[in-house]
Structure 1
Amino acid sequence: MLNYLIIFAIPWIAYAYENIALLKSAWQLHPYMYKHKIITTNASNAVDGLKTNLSYFGGQCTISANYQYEALWRVDLGAVLGIHHINIYYKTDDVPWGPGNGFTTRFLGFSVFISNTTDKEDGVLCFKDDKFTRYTIPAVITLNCTHHGRYVIYYNNRTSTNLPPDYSAYAFNELCEFEVYGCPSPSYYGEDCSQSCPDQCMDSRCHIETGNCFGCKVGYQGPTCDQPCQKNTYGHGCSMICGLCVNGEQCNHVNGTCHNGCEAGIYGSHCQMECPQGFYGRNCSNKCSEKCFIYKDCNIKTGVCFGGCAVGWKPPLCNEECDDGTFGTNCSNYCGHCHQGQSCDVETGACPNGCDSGYKGIHCNESCAHSFYGPNCRLRCSNTCINRTCDAEKGSCDMVQNEIGHKNSKTSDIIVESREILFAVLTALVVVFV
């Protein structure tokens, strides 16, 4: 009979969880043999649902071999299932349980593991006895083990050279019933196993009491995995950092791609690479100008040429020639007085058809010297002009000398003026057709 019964780490409430270990496949290390035959004390006795006779001869308990230093038993739940608690009924031989019962020393020091493989080292430790004595250990123990797993493993050993005084010399499996209570479907939780685990739980598994996920699917976070990754993170556990999406947008919370493309100067499926040499802009789709001061070297975002433009090209992108009337480096110079207002050469500033009347020089920005006028200042002022000073553009005298002798007669003035005009016309024609 049982003298002691305790509930360990679980409040006293009624549970509707099922015994998901009942009649499942079980196995033990070092089974008990009688005359080289395994008798009716095999591993499956611990999950047959029978616990009315807890003696060797009752046929309801599993028994392991004598003189072994390790004892191991496990049950295969058939799938990774949610576990809430475990009840263990140890062999009492149907005699009063307590320090006088020799089986108490064999029960001491046991452990229980939950694993997804048959190896206990791959699992989690549900319980390890390190405090009971032969006076305090109960024959029936209820363990709180809210985990998911396929295999529940009972283990005991006597491999230490410094065993506690109450421990038996050898290790045994003497389990009369091993009940694992939980939900028969891995994706449900709650006292009656009727509530579905949240959709974004990894492997559709959640805590059997709270419904909180043990892990989230890629791209989700939070206790119930209902929150997509935020703050420019994505991926498993929201541990990956988004690239430079346009306008600082959040990337796809699952795969990290940018919905609307990359920020200017960045490219790639995850917007994490800078534009290669010679390219700039959104998705690096624009080419730097060949007229950059440094050939095709520009800002990857804006396309502005580093070091400015080649001579004759207009900043900041250096993809247009200087506007009419300007020339030189970064179009910073102004054309002179070219013939008939024509634009000068964008690189040199030279006027292609010479200068307008009254100006000379390569850039047509020099006024005619004293006594010269007309296109390119090739005409001389009339000698009838006082000091031979005339209008630099038209050649008209500022002042005419008084009539002295045969000079400055009207006739002679007309003749001289006619000659000068004819000469200017011929000169202009020569300039035009040169």
Structure 2
Amino acid sequence: MYFLLNMLGVLVVMSIIYLCSPNKKNLKWKAIITLLVVELLITWFMLSTTIGSWVINQIASFFTWLISCANDGISFVFPSVMANEQIDFFFSALMPIIFIITFFDILSYFGIMTWIIDKVGWMISKISGLPKLESFFSIQMMFLGNTEALAVLRQQLTVIGNQRLLTFGIMSMSSISGSIIGAYLSMVPAAYVFAAIPLNCLNALLIASMLNPVNVSKEEDIVYVPTKEERKDFFSTISDSMLVGVKMVIVIMAMVIGYVALTAGVNGILSFFIDGLTVQKIFSILFSPFAFLLGLSGSDAMYVAQLMGIKLATNEFVALLDLKGQLDHLAPHTVAVAVTFLTSFANFSTVGMIYGTFNSILDEEKSKIIGKNVWKLLLSGMAVSLLSAMIVGLFVW
């Protein structure tokens, strides 16, 4: 029965996104079905084979090395902070952005990143039937994270239209950052974290293609290559990259602080009228039907719905810390779907991070496309998390 509920959940989520699509006639069903089949195969490969786990671990090791390099730089300036066992979010997740942007800008300077975007994007777009740049962005988010991936592609984003920019904003709701994978792994089983990462990226591509269908001509489906006149010398390029990174860190920090504080303020107002009422509790009630569609029993469904509310109103760290203390008391299926759902940045503060990133790498006018479509970003983030959790749930009982 619960397995059938899990399968029904996939259909329900897809149906809701279809109903919310503004342009149902232009949906590419072949691409959507193809992506779903690919996701099922990937999930089976990662959760059911030894080779799959080894491949994912090797990829993760590379990004762990990147973060360690970034931490060396941070430790030189803030040695006492980095020596602590518990490092603040600002230093563990935001500060590494400076090095990651610089590293990939160096690859772009020598044409390596442009080549990868073109080839990998071509391969994914052939499978999915969707544009190359969007296809590669979905893969790039797998370990870089939304803000870092957007920054790396900032030259590409400056030459595309607002409608396609919205696609990147929608997709950005469903990533994580390589800099915090270690933090996730210290709290919950690694297998489900690594299963969620590629599923979220492919589901982000799938959901974005439904919520914001865009027809891209062959002439537009290209990778932007700066002309010789536009290119600066090497040291000017990396210096500019570092300054872009610093600016982004400050903007994102301000957005995160503001949204978390706003949630606390709203909770204070709600508790004034009804004692103990919070935004998190409201969301947990709203999400309880979807928790049952994850194939969960009564008590587990309400607990996971509560985790959903915590994640959306605050962030996934708060929810994962709560889940960490309950792992020994939950069924394997409950742990699998809960961890997979929580492994992404889909919450209110992420909308602020995306808006801040657009504002810092593009301009205020282009950033308005995010402000006008906040509901699409939130809907996409939750739908991707649910869909990924439901697919993983099919393989773990």
TM-score (norm 1): 0.19
Query: Greater CA radius of gyration, 1 or 2?
Result: 1
**Structure showing the higher helix proportion among its residues:** 2
**Structure showing the higher strand proportion among its residues:** 1
Flag the structure with more relative contact order, 1 or 2, with Cα contacts below 8 A and sequence separation at least 6: 2
TM-score (norm 2): 0.21
